Amino acid sequence: MNTGREPGSRESLCLCPELVPQLVDSQEGKVRREEEALSTAFAQIEQSNQVWAIKQFAAAAGVPENAMYTRYRHWAVCLSERNADVVSAKLQATWDRMVTSDEEWTLVRFAREAEMDFQTLQAHHQKWVERFRVRKASFSTSERVRLAIEDAKNSPTPITPTEVAQKVGITYSTLMRKYSDQYASLVEHNKIAFEPTVEAAWRRVCESDLYPTVSEFAEMCGFRHFSILLAYFPDSAKQVRNRLKSKR
């Protein structure tokens, strides 16, 4: 039957009216399925405690990435907000660990502990960078000395003032002059705390008929270097030397 329309004319490309509802239903069904897939994928993302890229989100839902910027922009916004919350929580948790560690961290370490590269921290989290700098300025040398000496007093082996000074980042003479009370308290602690260890080692020497050198005796006491024995227990070091001489 001749309709009077040329093949390829605009009129010949129009859909039959009865097909329009089917096409609409098909499109609506596709959108509904993709929405459900995005919802399922987002639930998975929320459980991961990780930052997800749009590309990953789209792939997990089986949705074209470009659709995330058109039909599903609301999901892209949800992901962006959720990522911001995750990063904020990680930065706060990292901050709490740093504060409770009683250590002086660098900004590079802070970024690493937060699972973030240093450049990202500086470029996108200036509030945390400034907060870090303020804390660093208030974390005085005096406080660092106090904390280092507290740690030394809790050590199972003697920590010398020289080692404390190195940990704090000052010289031994500075520790002895400017922080004389803390210095003296550590020296007194080491003498009292490790005297039973030295006495027990000396008894073992006598009972086992041993003739150690000063270095060997210091090792028996669990000291890292014989200079610790000489500094805190000179009388015991003298006993060891005299015992060794008597054997010769």
Residue range 222-240, pLDDT digits in tens: 998 889 999 999 999 999 9
Nearest Cα residue to 176 out of 149, 216, 156, 151: 149
Q: Which region among 12-16, 70-74, 87-91, 187-191 has the lowest average model confidence (pLDDT)?
A: 12-16
Contact 60, 42 (CB under 8 A): no
Contact 174, 165 (CB under 8 A): yes
Residue range 30-40, pLDDT digits in tens: 888 888 999 99
**Most distant CA pair in the chain: distance in Å?**
132
Residue range 41-81, pLDDT digits in tens: 888 888 887 888 889 989 989 999 999 989 889 999 999 99
Quick one: which H or E segment has residue 59? helix 54-61
Residue range 119-167, pLDDT digits in tens: 999 999 999 999 998 887 766 788 889 989 999 999 999 999 999 999 8
180, exposed or middle or buried, with CB in 10 Å at 0-12, 13-18, 19+?
exposed
**Cα gap 149→161, rounded to integer Å:** 8
The residue ranges of every structural domain in the chain are 104-139, 141-247
Cβ-proximal residues to 160 (8 Å cutoff; 6+ apart), any chain: 190, 228, 231
Average pLDDT over the chain, rounded to whole?
A: 86
